[in-house]
Structure 1
Amino acid sequence: MTSPGVPGPTAPTSPRTALVTGASSGIGAATVRALAAAGFATVAAARRVERCQELAAEVGGRAVQLDVTDAASVAALAEAVPEVSVVVHSAGGALGTDPVSEADVEGWRTMYDTNVLGVLRVHQALLPALRRSGNGHVVLLGSIAGFEVYPGGAGYTAVKHALNAVRRTMRQELNGELVRVTEIAPGMVETEFSLVRLGSEEAAAKVYDGLTPLSAEDVAEVIAFAVTRPPHVDLDHVVLRPVAQADAAHVHRGPLRG
């Protein structure tokens, strides 16, 4: 029993729920771990749901199968996760390094469907829940390819430029609401990204020869920092690169001077 005027014990509050797409590997999986460590209830969502289930068991979260290119799959996600405060759009990837004159149209179409339309589908499905949360946060995993270009990268830079435009538009459209929007734009990160893009482990390894790239954990830590700022603080556009990378076309390989 408490005395008059003395507040009683504070009722426990439920942790905020954070959902991460593309959570079966790389930056997505690292982000689930980082957000769980930061106190969030996590939902790992990806096509390879068995990997998400292993991750969920590791961090004490949930796993949901999700194909961001499939409207029915996205609708099922919204039904399975009716309450969410943070959505990290990590599903995406790159295909091919051909010049524009030789580019594969279907590869470009696949990249656009995953990197841009996938974000659109998931955002439309989960925005009502983000609004209901009273402290919503949308995180888009962009890239320095969203504002830089390089030979052989037109398909990927085009979709990441589009994603950058989507983020800036979201900020205007959601202005005045309690929903923050952040784009995290990393440079070279050593994950399955290059393996998927180039098709062989040997070719993927050469991408990082002679330098120390970012790790998935480096990027995940920045995402966790962004979503744990006070509700009035929005880290709008965060760029991070390896020290050896000046921009998308200039990388120093070998010992750094100092």
Structure 2
Amino acid sequence: MTKTALITGATSGIGHATAYEFAKHGINLVLCGRRLDRLNTIKEALEKLTNVHILNFDVKDKTETFKAIKSIPEGFKTIDILINNAGNAHGLDPINEGDIDDWDAMMDINVKGLLYVSKAIIPQMTERKSGHIINIGSSAGKQVYPNGNVYCASKHAVLAITEGMRIDLNPFGIKVGAISPGLVQTEFSQVRFKGDKKADAVYQGFDALQAEDIAEIIYFVVSRPNHVNIADLLVFPTAQANAFTLKKNS
């Protein structure tokens, strides 16, 4: 039976790559994002491979999130797989110099947005007693690094929420897990540094993970047999050992 996956943050990075990976395997897609032009472009490309429906909203807007998910047409309404991928990092400042607007943006999207989307989808999974939720965390959810303070806190929260979900949804047979990447070369640093050219240096001198690497891992996780749930997966590029240890080419 063909499954349907809903992916947030599908217009770039890991979400975009996961949409392509899922489409290759014939999974129907509900793709969510803030940038309608990108959603339309992805839809046009992937409809050659699978059925695609797009939802244009911002996960931090509670009302719009519930409204958008409620509007999903009948052919896509049964969500078998939820990929909570939407997230961001704003700024890299010591806590005493942090921008409150940056803090709000990270907590609103990384934590509250994940909760809003999950709240809108979970009831149908509990009713069916089936489903699979994957929350995209970060190695920052495992280890705090200098100036990472609130971003790291938001990703620690993602892992705590994931564990809580797995416990609470266990009676319903719903799989829940987190995938926590280290350095992945996406638009992440462009957003964090607000377009500053120092973002270009983040991935120089070593082979970073690519969004496609994580997408392949996500597909592997969702394609395991029913009795297998990969609960917590941490993945680094080979050059990275932890938040502080990175081997750069000499």
TM-score (norm 1): 0.90
| Structure 1 residue 84, shift from structure 2 partner | 0.7
CA distance in 2, matches of 1:97, 1:151: 9
Q: Note the C-alpha offset of 1:49.
A: 2.1
Is 1:58 the equivalent of 2:49? no
Report what 1:226 is aligned to. 221
Distance 2:126 2:43 in 1: 25
The structure 1 residue matched to 2:189, chosen from 185, 194, 197, is: 194
Which of residues 197, 200, 203 in structure 1 aligns to 2:198?
203
1:80 aligns with 2:71: yes
Which residue of the partner structure matches residue 105 of structure 1?
100
Higher mean displacement: 213-222 or 75-84: 75-84
Any idea what SS the aligned residue of 2:60 has? coil
Counterpart in the other structure of 2:158 = 163
Kindly provide the CA deviation profile for residues 117-166 of structure 1, in whole angstroms up to 9, marking residues without a partner as x: 00110001111222345430111000000010111111110100111110
CA distance in 1, matches of 2:116, 2:237: 32
- Partner residue, 1:43: 30
Count residues in correspondence.
Answer: 242
Return the alpha-carbon distance in structure 1 between the equivalents of residues 35 and 117 of structure 2.
17
For 2:137 and 2:157, the matched residues in 1 are separated by 10
Q: Structure 1: where are the runs of 5+ without partners?
A: 1-12
Is it true that 1:116 corresponds to 2:107 in the alignment?
A: no
Q: Structure 1 residues 48-57 or 157-166, which shifts more?
A: 48-57
Distance of 1:32 and 1:200 partners within structure 2: 25
* CA distance in 1: counterparts of 2:215 and 2:196, whole angstroms: 24
Aligned to 1:29: 16
Measured in 1, the distance between the counterparts of 2:40 and 2:18 equals 15
Amino acid at match of 2:99: D
Q: How does 1:127-138 map to 2 (within 5 A)?
A: 127-138=122-133
Work out the CA distance in 2 between the residues paired with 1:124 and 1:187: 27
RMSD: 1.3
Q: Secondary structure at the match of 1:196?
A: helix
Kindly name which structure, 1 or 2, has the bigger radius of gyration based on alpha carbons. 1
- Tell me the distance in 1 between the aligned counterparts of 2:108 and 2:117: 12
Unaligned runs of 5+ in 2: none
Q: TM-score, normalised by structure 2?
A: 0.93
1:236 alignment partner in structure 2: 231
Following the alignment from structure 1 to structure 2, what is the Cα–Cα distance between the partners of residues 231 and 53? Answer: 33
Q: Which is further off, 75-84 or 169-178?
A: 75-84
Matched, 1:68 2:59: yes
Aligned-pair identity (%): 38
Q: Distance in 1 between matches of 2:43 and 2:130?
A: 24
Q: Partners in 1 of 2:131 and 2:42 — Cα distance?
A: 24
Query: Separation in 1 of the partners of 2:53 and 2:32?
Result: 9
Contact 2:182–2:237 under 8 Å retained in 1: yes
Q: Residue 152 of structure 1 is aligned with which of 141, 147, 168?
A: 147
Residue 63 of structure 2 aligns to a residue whose secondary structure is: helix
Contact 1:17 1:84 in 2 (8 A): yes
- The more displaced of 30-39 and 17-26 is 30-39
